């Protein structure tokens, strides 16, 4: 999981590469590097720096690199420590070939052993470094066939090397023998080519391209391309030349603006009322004949009718959204539903059952475990010759042009706009809304819920945007104050039950990932079975207590924590029972079904302010990256 960018054309490459890397830094920030071909000597000049991109920029301040062809990389370490020697680009022994790569070359150790036996000396611990050495060896072989030194020869060499690589990758290659050319390729990792004016820019994600052009050619899996200032040649894995029309980027795929907020995360928390408005506008349609609301998802009713059960596959925050979704689909719509960690599902899938809908949830659309789990499910279902076992798929994603968008036909686009903060906030909220839509759709089609109850839920959704605005206004300052009192704590426990249990998990995940404070979420009723041993006056407990089915139970569980001297913070409306809390983060009274959509906001704000108060890098927390494109 790294970001790569590559450019060839008539403009200076350096500013284009740096600008692209700035937009990709959310993918990894362990080190950064660039390689540019010197137009006078054809030598490749490589510059790298450990740590954030700013370090590389500082190093480059007094460098004048006039070249127009180059590659760049921002790294999230997988093989080898996050230090200088492992920073990309990596080169062959002569320095004539430079490579940047995002992915994992699974058989790199075998390849490295063989190359070392041939006398190659490695300078890094990365899997990537085998690639330039292998390309160099391939070019040596090709030179015996008297092929010219040009981009086409580089293309052949890279293609031959790719056939020896196992794993997933997106890569870009420079060769001093073909100084205007770039070769790029992808397998199970994203890569997009932007068609600029006078240049082609290739990158892992759209924001890196959006400043230069809004016309793109997404590369398909297993494709390889040769880019020169004169044009692009794309080939599939059978070496067939591919011709396709470019597409335009949506405005939401281009905008990355912090506005006046200190961090992207805070801005994205404040985006959520608009996220709700967008969802309502896009997906809630009033039928002019009967005045009833319908969910405007792009699949026909027949699709839903045959579904008897649902399995949902996701990771991290997306899994927490899926858990709320599962609660709604079972308890509101009456469809048996199971949620799986994608990384577990891959290696221990449940036995196949008929008439099952598989839902993949991934904001980035690129999470390797989720993509692989869905792929595995498609394959094992397709291998059975029985209609009832065929794959029925929906993907819920913020990036419909991503890998999952190409893998799954039925997409629910959460339309949250680009999320830059590494901690997911508005995309979690939009994923939740997508599940409310699905639950309503199933309830309407299957008739497991009265139309009155469905109508009530829809009305609550319609009322959301001003409530959310109000919540944010009220809690921004107060959670900043609370953060001031709590920024030094070591452990926090989050409790919730029923539909709010996943919100407790998500609250804990948000806190730990950006503030590095240990936090754990539990179903409130489970406390007494072990975790209660952790409690004392140094361990605050945040309890989500929404009026409804389990309110009294949650309050009793909070009492148990109070009896162990824990400081109690409640996320609840002000009502009988909530006096127990030492501090109440008030949320509006609502129907219990809708409560997760309100409860999550104060939790996000509290985590944000605690991390900001600790002076941490909220948008780019250590060891993390926005999309996890490796297993």
Chosen residue from 19, 181, 275, 363 binding ligand F6R by CB under 6 A: 363
Chosen residue from 32, 35, 315, 335 binding ligand F6R by CB under 6 A: 315
Who's near 254: CB < 8 A, 6+ residues apart?
Answer: 206, 207, 210, 214, 418
**503 vs 509, beta carbon nearer ligand F6R:** 509
Please tell me whether residue 407 binds ligand F6R under the rule CB under 6 A.
Answer: no
2, 46, 315, 415: which one is catalytic? 2
626 in active site:
yes
**138 vs 513, beta carbon nearer ligand F6R:** 513
Shortest approach of ligand F6R to residue 396 CB, angstroms? 9
Q: How far is CA 141 from CA 32, 154, 386, in A?
A: 32, 12, 50
Please tell me whether residue 272 binds ligand F6R under the rule CB under 6 A.
Answer: no
Q: How far is CA 49 from CA 32, 61, 62, in A?
A: 6, 13, 15
Chosen residue from 74, 126, 317, 566 binding ligand F6R by CB under 6 A: 317
Residue with tokens 């995940």: 509
Listed ranges 239-247, 357-365, 448-456, 517-525: which one lies at the site for ligand F6R (CB under 6 A): 357-365
Listed ranges 200-208, 297-305, 309-317, 432-440: which one lies at the site for ligand F6R (CB under 6 A): 309-317
Under DSSP, the state recorded for 416 is -
- As a whole number of angstroms, the distance between CA 163 and CA 167 comes to 11
**185 vs 315, beta carbon nearer ligand F6R:** 315
**1 vs 561, beta carbon nearer ligand F6R:** 1
**131 vs 256, beta carbon nearer ligand F6R:** 256
Listed ranges 147-155, 358-366, 523-531, 551-559: which one lies at the site for ligand F6R (CB under 6 A): 358-366
Among positive and negative, which fits the CA dihedral 23, 623, 475, 461? Answer: positive
Please tell me whether residue 201 binds ligand F6R under the rule CB under 6 A.
Answer: no
For residue 142, what are its two tokens? 């090709």
Chosen residue from 36, 424, 483, 585 binding ligand F6R by CB under 6 A: 424
**592 vs 617, beta carbon nearer ligand F6R:** 617
**9 vs 316, beta carbon nearer ligand F6R:** 316
- Whether the CB-CB separation of 312 and 320 falls below 8 Å is answered with no
Chosen residue from 372, 628, 629, 630 binding ligand F6R by CB under 6 A: 628
Who's near 177: CB < 8 A, 6+ residues apart?
Answer: 42, 96, 139, 149, 150, 153, 154
Q: How far is CA 447 from CA 260, 303, 605, in A?
A: 47, 15, 38
Residue with tokens 């609502």: 590
Q: Which of 617, 166, 596, 627 is nearest to 368 (CA)?
A: 627
Listed ranges 75-83, 100-108, 363-371, 607-615: which one lies at the site for ligand F6R (CB under 6 A): 363-371
- As a whole number of angstroms, the distance between CA 111 and CA 117 comes to 10
**177 vs 421, beta carbon nearer ligand F6R:** 421
**76 vs 581, beta carbon nearer ligand F6R:** 76
How many other CB atoms sit within 10 Å of the CB of residue 287?
9
**47 vs 370, beta carbon nearer ligand F6R:** 370
Listed ranges 47-55, 202-210, 314-322, 527-535: which one lies at the site for ligand F6R (CB under 6 A): 314-322
Listed ranges 27-35, 274-282, 347-355, 360-368: which one lies at the site for ligand F6R (CB under 6 A): 360-368
Please tell me whether residue 627 binds ligand F6R under the rule CB under 6 A.
Answer: yes
Shortest approach of ligand F6R to residue 311 CB, angstroms? 16
Chosen residue from 370, 595, 607, 620 binding ligand F6R by CB under 6 A: 370
Please tell me whether residue 557 binds ligand F6R under the rule CB under 6 A.
Answer: no
Q: How far is CA 580 from CA 31, 85, 584, 589, in A?
A: 49, 56, 9, 18
Residue 17 CA, distance from chain mean position: 22
Task: Using CB positions, name the residue nearest to ligand F6R.
Answer: 316
Shortest approach of ligand F6R to residue 423 CB, angstroms? 4
Shortest approach of ligand F6R to residue 425 CB, angstroms? 8
- Whether the CB-CB separation of 583 and 570 falls below 8 Å is answered with yes
- As a whole number of angstroms, the distance between CA 260 and CA 279 comes to 24
Strands 392-397 and 356-362, how do they pair?
parallel
- As a whole number of angstroms, the distance between CA 461 and CA 594 comes to 7
Please tell me whether residue 362 binds ligand F6R under the rule CB under 6 A.
Answer: yes
Shortest approach of ligand F6R to residue 314 CB, angstroms? 6
Please tell me whether residue 604 binds ligand F6R under the rule CB under 6 A.
Answer: no
- Whether the CB-CB separation of 335 and 439 falls below 8 Å is answered with no
H helices, E strands: number in the chain: 19, 27
Report the run of H or E that residue 429 belongs to, with start and end.
helix 426-446
Shortest approach of ligand F6R to residue 419 CB, angstroms? 8
How many other CB atoms sit within 10 Å of the CB of residue 610?
28
Number of residues located near ligand F6R, criterion CB under 6 A: 15
Please tell me whether residue 610 binds ligand F6R under the rule CB under 6 A.
Answer: no
Shortest approach of ligand F6R to residue 114 CB, angstroms? 35
Please tell me whether residue 68 binds ligand F6R under the rule CB under 6 A.
Answer: no
- As a whole number of angstroms, the distance between CA 312 and CA 296 comes to 21
Q: Which of 580, 560, 577 is nearest to 569 (CA)?
A: 580
**Which region, left, alpha or beta, applies to residue 540 given φ > 0 means left and ψ of -120 to 50 means alpha?**
beta
Residue with tokens 């449940």: 350
**Which region, left, alpha or beta, applies to residue 146 given φ > 0 means left and ψ of -120 to 50 means alpha?**
left
**333 vs 425, beta carbon nearer ligand F6R:** 425
Gap between the terminal Cα atoms of the chain: 9
Please tell me whether residue 603 binds ligand F6R under the rule CB under 6 A.
Answer: no
- As a whole number of angstroms, the distance between CA 507 and CA 607 comes to 8
Shortest approach of ligand F6R to residue 468 CB, angstroms? 19
46 in active site:
no
Please tell me whether residue 535 binds ligand F6R under the rule CB under 6 A.
Answer: no
Please tell me whether residue 367 binds ligand F6R under the rule CB under 6 A.
Answer: yes
**27 vs 475, beta carbon nearer ligand F6R:** 27
Binding to ligand F6R in span 509-528, by CB under 6 A: 509, 513
48, 319, 510, 626: which one is catalytic? 626
Chosen residue from 272, 318, 543, 607 binding ligand F6R by CB under 6 A: 318
Please tell me whether residue 629 binds ligand F6R under the rule CB under 6 A.
Answer: no
- As a whole number of angstroms, the distance between CA 469 and CA 213 comes to 34
Listed ranges 30-38, 362-370, 490-498, 600-608: which one lies at the site for ligand F6R (CB under 6 A): 362-370
| Catalytic residue set | 2, 626
What does the binding site for ligand F6R look like in residue numbers (CB under 6 A)? 315-318, 362-364, 367, 370, 423-424, 509, 513, 627-628
């Amino acid at each position: 999981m790294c970001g790569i960018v590559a450019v060839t054309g008539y403009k200076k490459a350096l500013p284009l590469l740096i600008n692209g890397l700035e937009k990709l830094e959310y993918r990894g920030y362990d080190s950064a590097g660039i390689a540019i071909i010197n137009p006078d000597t054809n030598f490749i000049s490589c510059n790298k720096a450990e740590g954030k991109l700013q370090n590389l920029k500082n190093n480059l301040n007094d460098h004048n690199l006039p070249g127009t062809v180059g590659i760049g990389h921002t790294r999230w370490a997988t093989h080898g420590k996050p230090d200088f020697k492992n920073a990309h680009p990596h080169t062959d022994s002569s320095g004539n070939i430079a490579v940047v790569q995002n992915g994992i070359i699974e058989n790199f150790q075998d390849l490295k052993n063989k190359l070392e036996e041939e006398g190659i000396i490695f300078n890094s611990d990365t899997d990537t470094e085998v690639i330039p050495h292998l390309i160099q060896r391939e070019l040596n072989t090709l030179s015996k066939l008297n092929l010219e030194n040009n981009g086409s020869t580089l293309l052949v060499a890279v293609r031959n090397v790719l056939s020896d690589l196992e794993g997933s990758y997106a890569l870009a290659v420079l060769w001093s023998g073909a100084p205007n050319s770039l070769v790029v390729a992808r397998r199970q990792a994203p890569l997009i080519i932007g068609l600029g004016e006078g240049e082609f820019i290739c990158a892992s994600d759209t924001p890196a391209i959006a400043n230069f052009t809004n016309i793109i050619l997404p590369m398909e899996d297993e494709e390889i391309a040769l880019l020169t200032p004169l044009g692009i040649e794309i080939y599939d894995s059978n070496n067939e030349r591919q011709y396709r029309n470019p597409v335009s980027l949506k405005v939401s795929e281009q905008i990355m603006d912090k506005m006046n907020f200190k961090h992207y995360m805070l801005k994205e928390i404040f985006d959520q009322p608009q996220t709700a408005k967008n969802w309502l506008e896009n997906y809630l349609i009033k039928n002019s004949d009967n005045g009833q609301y319908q969910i405007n998802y792009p699949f026909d009713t027949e699709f839903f009718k045959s579904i008897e059960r649902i399995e949902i596959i996701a990771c991290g925050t997306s899994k927490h959204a899926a858990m709320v979704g599962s609660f709604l689909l079972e308890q509101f719509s009456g469809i048996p539903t199971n949620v799986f960690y994608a990384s577990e599902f891959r290696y221990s899938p449940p036995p196949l059952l008929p008439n099952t809908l598989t839902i993949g949830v991934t904001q980035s659309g690129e999470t390797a475990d989720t993509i692989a789990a869905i792929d595995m499910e498609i394959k094992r279902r397709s291998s059975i010759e029985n209609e009832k076992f065929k794959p029925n798929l929906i993907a819920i994603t913020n990036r419909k042009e991503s890998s999952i968008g190409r893998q799954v036909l039925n997409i629910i686009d959460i339309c949250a706009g680009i999320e830059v903060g590494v901690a997911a906030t508005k995309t979690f909220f939009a994923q939740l809304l997508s599940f409310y839509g699905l639950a309503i759709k199933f309830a309407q089609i299957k008739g497991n819920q009265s139309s009155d109850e469905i109508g009530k839920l829809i009305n609550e959704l319609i009322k959301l945007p001003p409530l959310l605005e109000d919540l944010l206004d009220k809690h921004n300052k107060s959670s900043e104050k609370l953060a001031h009192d709590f920024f030094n704590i070591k452990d926090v426990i989050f409790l919730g039950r029923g539909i709010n249990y996943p919100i407790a998990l998500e609250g804990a995940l948000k806190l730990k990932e950006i503030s590095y404070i240990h936090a754990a979420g539990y179903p409130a009723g489970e406390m007494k079975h072990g975790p209660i041993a952790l409690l004392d006056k140094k361990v605050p407990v945040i309890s989500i207590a929404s009026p409804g089915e389990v309110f009294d139970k949650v309050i009793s569980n909070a009492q148990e924590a109070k009896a162990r001297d824990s400081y109690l913070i409640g996320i609840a409306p002000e009502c009988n029972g909530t006096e127990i809390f030492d501090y109440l983060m008030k949320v509006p009274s609502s129907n219990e079904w809708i409560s997760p959509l309100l409860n999550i906001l104060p939790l996000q704000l509290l985590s944000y302010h605690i991390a900001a108060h600790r002076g941490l890098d909220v948008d780019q927390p250590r060891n993390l990256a926005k999309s996890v494109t490796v297993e």
